[in-house]
Amino acid sequence: AKEKVRRRHTPAPTRPRKPDLQVYLPRHRDSCSRPGNLDCEESGESSSGSSELEPSSRQLFCLEYEADSGEVTTVIVYQDDDPGRVSEEVSAHTPLDPPMREALRLRIQEEIAK
C-alpha cells in the first residue's frame, strides 16, 4: 500500500507566498540621458517638473509620501527646488487638502534649509 501513495508533482511551498512588493525606482539622469542605453528602466510615470531641466542642481533627498490608501508617491528634491512646486507635484499624484499641502510645503522647506 505504501508504494501506491500519490505524490504531488510540485512540492508545497514551505511558507505562504506574499505578493511582490512594487517599488518605484527613479531613473538616474546621468545614465538615461543617452538614447542607446538599454539598462534604463522606462516608466509610464515620469515626473513632469522643472527638476528634470536642472542638471546643475544637487539632489538633496528623495521624498516618499504614503497616502491613506497605501499608495506611495516618490519625488526627488533638488537643492534649488521650490517647496511649493514640490508639494504641488505630490498633490498632483495624491490629492491633498490645502492644510495638508501647506504642512507638506513647510516640511519640505525645513528639509531643504538643513
Q: Establish if 56 belongs to a structural domain.
A: yes
Q: Establish if 43 belongs to a structural domain.
A: no
Q: Establish if 69 belongs to a structural domain.
A: yes
Q: Establish if 61 belongs to a structural domain.
A: yes
SS3 readout for the chain: CHHHCCCCCCCCCCCCCCCCCCCCCCCCHHHHCCCCCCCCCCCCCCCCCHHHHCCCCCEEEEEEEECCCCCEEEEEEECCCCHHHHHHHHHHHCCCCHHHHHHHHHHHHHHHHC
Q: How confident is the model at residue 31 (pLDDT cuts 50, 70, 90)?
A: very low
pTM of this structure: 0.46
Q: Establish if 7 belongs to a structural domain.
A: no
Q: Establish if 20 belongs to a structural domain.
A: no
What pLDDT, on a 0 to 100 scale, did the predictor assign at position 63?
Answer: 85
Per the structure, the complete domain to which residue 62 belongs is given by 51-114
* Residue 32 clears pLDDT 80, i.e. is over it: no
Q: Establish if 93 belongs to a structural domain.
A: yes
Q: How many domains does the chain have?
A: 1
